[in-house]
Amino acid sequence: MKRLILEIDQDGNLAIPQSLKDHFRMVPGSKILVEIDEDRLHLSRPSDGLNRIYIEVTNQCNLDCSTCIRTIWNDSLGSMPFPGFQKIIADLSEFSPIPEIFFGGYGEPLSHPDILPMIRYARAKGASTSLITNGTLLSQAMTHSLIESGLDMLWVSIDGAHPESYQDVRLGNHLPKIIENLHYFHQARTDKYGSSAWSGRPGLGIAFVLMRKNAADLPAVIALGKQLGANQFFVTNLMAYTQGMAAEVLYEKSLTHASGSWEGTQPRVWLPRMDLDGTPGEDLIYMLMQGYQVKVAGNILNRNPYLCPFLARGATAVRWDGNLAPCLPLLYEHTHILGDWHRRSLPHTFGNLNTSSIVDLWYSPEYRRFREDLLAINFSPCVDCHTCNLSEDNLLDCTGYRHPNCGGCLWAHGVIQCP
């Protein structure tokens, strides 16, 4: 956490350092959401501050995981041509500073034949870069190439600590090879930068999809990750695309409990730092499940989850064919399942980056209005309610908000997340 002391000038105005303006991409005319919680002030990123772009360089993958959206779609498969990628980065160079490039979507980035030139090209333009992989293609040669490319962060998806649980999710006994690959990665990185997980690059992060069949493996995955030099861990729930996967989710009950503490209708509980084993831990879980607003040592544990995480990050997403969407969930049509509730989500695009500049699309009236609406709206309670036919798709919700409405989005409700 960074601390910054701001100064109030003689006229009573807040002086904001240029470094902070650059960090948050403060653009004239942009909107900022301000949330006041008694003794704390929460500011969102400016609505026009582009901070990160997820680039799906390919939607093809060498695995066929039971948890993946690719098990249910009929979309065309393809990969982004290198010249198309160069155009996107060249257009992004008009932003100052240039946004982070995150290589990830619904395919395996390391399977793209030009992934290394893409990373090097983005780095040469001044962009920080991250990439998420299933780890199977992280060969010794690829390891050295990634280290030399200047990649800032490497995320590896590991959904089990033992071959049996991993195989049940990933439909293949790849875990021993992935661990072997990561041991070599850790050693190669250590040889170049030293043993600290926080020095040099790329840093290593572990992404874990939590479900009933692998929940017991989470502590072991974190322990394994620490041995392999990981310094970040990201846990998300499972987005169920099939009835079989719907039985694996671990959040259905939590969505039926009271969720209005941020509206001021539920009790607020202030707790000190304390040991959370035994009864205190059980009491904390009870209060969170009841929707109470809980603070521990002044830190809110369950502040309003109804906020688009892509908007909060200042992020956008581009598909392999150049279509620009506001988030990863809106890249493709899909249906997710929660108990008896099936919700169809139609994709949404603001244009195509092969024929338009991302600068023009990002600042277009349509996209600006969309972001400003996300800051201001109260999301419809589709996830908590889902009793009417409006909750069955993202075309229209009960508040009158039209496609792409976000009331049924599990990402906006803090259930699903990604690095």
- pLDDT score, position 336: 94
Of residues 26 and 339, more confidently modeled: 339
Residue 403 binned pLDDT confidence (cut-offs 50, 70, 90): confident
Lowest mean pLDDT among 57-66, 87-96, 199-208, 282-291: 282-291
pLDDT at 341 over 70: yes
pLDDT, mean over the chain: 88
Query: Residues 17-52: pLDDT tens digits?
Result: 887 777 777 888 888 877 776 666 777 788 899 999
Of residues 194 and 259, more confidently modeled: 194
Tell me how far apart the 2 most distant CA atoms of the chain are, in Å: 66
Residue 55 binned pLDDT confidence (cut-offs 50, 70, 90): very high
Of residues 323 and 45, more confidently modeled: 323
- pLDDT score, position 262: 46
- pLDDT score, position 172: 62
Distance CA 404, CA 401 (A): 8
Please enumerate in sequence order all residues whose Cβ is within 8 A of that of 259, keeping only pairs 6 or more positions apart, or say none: 291, 305, 384
Which residue in the block uniquely carries the two structure tokens 């600006």?
368
Mean pLDDT calculated for residue range 268-276: 88
pLDDT at 104 over 50: yes
- Give how far Cα 264 sits from Cα of 194, 224, 228, 261, 303, Å: 50, 42, 44, 5, 12
pLDDT at 248 over 90: yes
Of residues 91 and 175, more confidently modeled: 91
**Which range scores top for mean pLDDT: 82-91, 170-179, 194-203, 216-225?**
82-91
Lowest mean pLDDT among 38-42, 133-137, 283-287, 321-325: 38-42
- pLDDT score, position 261: 39
Mean pLDDT calculated for residue range 74-91: 96
Mean pLDDT calculated for residue range 200-204: 93
Query: pTM, whole model, 2 decimals?
Result: 0.91
pLDDT at 171 over 80: no
- pLDDT score, position 253: 79
Lowest mean pLDDT among 88-92, 148-152, 196-200, 351-355: 196-200
Percentage of the chain surpassing pLDDT 70? 93
Token readout for 319 is 């598909």
Mean pLDDT calculated for residue range 246-254: 88
Query: Residues 127-166: pLDDT tens digits?
Result: 999 999 999 999 999 999 999 999 999 999 998 877 766 6
